[in-house]
Chain A
Amino acid sequence: MKVKTARLGKKGSRKARRIVQIVFFIIVAVTATGGALKEKGITIPIIPEASLHSICPFGGVVSIWQFLNVGTMVKKVHESSFVLAGIALVLALLFGPVICGWVCPFGTFQEWLAALGRKIFRKKYNTFMPAKLDKVLRYLRYLVLAWVSYMTVVTGKLVFQDYDPYFTLFNLWTGEVAITGYIALALVIVLSLFVERPFCKYACPYGAVLGVFNLFRIFGIKRNAPTCISCKACDKACPMNIKVSASKVVRNHQCISCLECTSEAACPVPATVEMLALPGQVKDTFGQKSTKSDSKAIGGDK
């Protein structure tokens, strides 16, 4: 059977994700712009107005401690963040970090840059990072999460704002961005031309929170080994460089539930890589033991 390359064909199904991503990007961009304009005393009819912080579920996550202990929210965070964090939590329990793969506008932005990087470097794109360095850096986002959480608890303020490329992207013109934010955004833009979703992989604190749900999500990515032809199309398609071909069940903490590896997209064999219910399956799906490459990989399946 001729194997299609990961990025060709089956566009119809994948379009669903693209559409959802674009819709959320527009909603967030318009809302945040409306919010920033309102701050400056300008109101445009019809345009929803809310600050970026009030529509970011991560604000809800970092506010939990203060809310439970002091009864107040972290400055600039509002009840809406709790609502969004709740929705994200339910979705993550069911499907893993779909917020990262389907909703987050900054993930979408990095994917657009990835398209450019892919045009420049073709098949070499997203293969530049030395494996050893990559392996260590994948845990950096947990350090970022720990630092952000600690500092937010201590100061009661959104300390990450000054370093957040996501905040910077949607507030470029508002004068609210610290120089460190501009540096972070520039860094992400440059890196995205070489590596897919560098911020998600190495630095996003909310990605770190949601990533943990990969370990026990109800629906997950399964590879049906008996029908697999080991073409590795799934590996090439995965933006997070997860070795799906070496896994029976993807439990990697970096999976973003984008479905790019599935038989609906990259995998050329029907019903071979799919998102299915994983009742009680933490490691093996088809009764096989983990391979050597499994244990070498981050999260046991890369």
Chain B
Amino acid sequence: MKVTYKTIGILVVASFVVGIGAAELSGLWKTESTKEPVTIKEGEFAGMPNPSDIRGSYTWSDVAKAFGFDVNLALKAFGASDPLVKVNTLESIYEGASLPEGAEIGTDSVRLFVSLLTGLPHTSEESTILPFSAIEVLRAEGKASSDLIEEAAGRAYKPGAAGEAATAAPAASVADSAADARPAAVVSSIAPAAAKTTATAEPAAAQAVTTPVPSSSVAQASTTTTVHTPSPTKTGVEGTGEGAAPGTITGKTTFKEIKAWGLSEEQIKSVTGGEIGNDIAAIRDWVVSKGLSFSEIKAKLQEMLDAR
């Protein structure tokens, strides 16, 4: 059989037309990510959308629709006006703002906001903070515990405050929420049981945080974890990737790193349900892709690490 110019020309065009057409019909032709976050697979919130899976390519309206709240709340919270603009524009909006060093208002701030608004779990990056306008919305509408919201308020950015995050939260609530923390760590929980655990903190540590912590240092080295598990992440200065304390699991920690810190494959599998991601995969990405709760798995792995 001889293949001519004409034959190849027709076959090439036909392959694309038929291939793309078939993919379109079967729903495989997707040129952008779906605007529906993966659902939480286990635990109290199973079946609910996972705030950790919010992508920068979602618009405000996508986020509001996926999590079932009024888009105006998000717009008001972040000072945005167009519901059809992508949330990743936040970074450029706040680029010129004099945020505390190392602090960031970006897509992860939206995840944190949604988590506090809906009461769904999410572990945010250590550098993530919210604008103060978001705190006002959360205080009025947030389903998360007021402790958590006030904790976020303690690190929030108030425009016009000369680059300082507004420590607007009452001192008592900051002390409560961070009671078990080593200096500058903010770890808390939605569940009352977890809050109780939080309260059984080492007095020395509690005292250390009761004194107002300079907001910028809080912003630099803390992670707000909104977990529903009764065993919240242990105390400690939470960091992620660069600048994180070795042995502290964060959103960027890979399987290779926790192995290097001393956890065996079996120990990891005992927490992740018998499976383990590739060495260089970030634990959070892998866990989210499996529909598991990163907050829970992180807490368990961290417990193992701390026990060593």
| Residues in A lying within 8 Å of B, measured CB to CB | 13-14, 16-17, 19-20, 23, 35, 39, 41, 49-51, 54-55, 69-72, 78-80, 82-84, 86-87, 90-91, 94-95, 98, 102-103, 153-154, 156, 219, 257, 259, 264-265, 274-277
Contacts and interface: CB of A to CB of B under 8 A. Distances in A.
Nearest to A276: B2
A17 B285 CA distance: 44
Contacts of B11: 91, 94-95
A95 B290 contact: no
Given A72-B285, A102-B8, A154-B280, A80 B1 contact: no
22 contacts: A16-B5, A16-B8, A17-B5, A17-B8, A17-B9, A50-B31, A50-B32, A54-B31, A54-B32, A72-B289, A79-B23, A79-B28, A80-B29, A80-B30, A84-B19, A87-B19, A98-B12, A153-B280, A154-B280, A264-B5, A275-B2, A275-B3
Given A14-B5, A87-B16, A95-B3, A70 B30 contact: no
A219 B6 contact: no
A103 B12 contact: yes
Contacts of B9: 16-17, 19-20, 102
Contacts of A78: 30-33
B20 interface: yes
B241 interface: no
Interface in B267-308: 277-278, 280-282, 285-286, 289-290
Nearest to B290: A71
A72 B5 CA distance: 39
B140 interface: no
B84 A41 contact: yes
A71 B12 CA distance: 30
Contacts of B19: 83-84, 86-87
A156 B282 CA distance: 10
Given A83-B20, A154-B280, A156-B285, A98 B31 contact: no
Which 5 residue pairs spanning A and B have beta carbons closest together?
A: A50-B31, A54-B31, A275-B3, A71-B289, A16-B9
B8 A83 contact: no
B2 A274 contact: yes
Given A13-B6, A19-B9, A277 B1 contact: yes
A259 B16 CA distance: 20
A216 B6 CA distance: 23
Interface string B64-103: 0000000000000000001011100000000000000000
B20 to A, nearest CB: 7
B29 A13 contact: no
Contacts of A79: 23, 28-30
Given A54-B31, A70-B278, 9 more contacts: A41-B84, A41-B85, A51-B32, A69-B278, A70-B285, A80-B31, A87-B20, A259-B4, A259-B5
Interface centre among B1, B20, B30, B285 (most CB of A within 10 A): B30
Nearest to A155: B280
Contacts of B82: 41
B28 to A, nearest CB: 6
A257 B282 CA distance: 41
A20 B12 contact: yes
Contact of A83 (B28, B278, B286): B28
Contacts of A39: 86
B13 interface: yes
A20 B15 CA distance: 13
A94 B12 CA distance: 11
DSSP class of A's interface residues: helix, strand, loop or mixed?
A: helix
Interface string B9-45: 1011101100110010000111111000000000000
Contacts of A70: 277-278, 281, 285-286, 289
B1 A98 contact: no
B290 A80 contact: no
Contacts of B29: 79-80, 83
Contacts of B33: 78
Nearest to B55: A75
Contacts of B281: 69-70
Contacts of A95: 3, 8, 11
Contacts of A87: 15-16, 19-20
A274 B82 CA distance: 59
Contacts of A14: 5
Contacts of A55: 31
B27 to A, nearest CB: 9
A171 to B, nearest CB: 16
A91 B12 contact: yes
Contacts of A91: 11-12, 15
A55 B11 CA distance: 19
B49 to A, nearest CB: 17
Contacts of A274: 2-3
B80 to A, nearest CB: 12
Interface centre among B11, B16, B19, B290 (most CB of A within 10 A): B16
Contacts of B1: 219, 276-277
Contacts of B2: 274-276
Contacts of B289: 70-72
A90 B30 contact: no
B132 to A, nearest CB: 26
Nearest to A39: B86
Contacts of B5: 13-14, 16-17, 259, 264-265
Contacts of B4: 13, 259, 264, 275
A95 B15 CA distance: 12
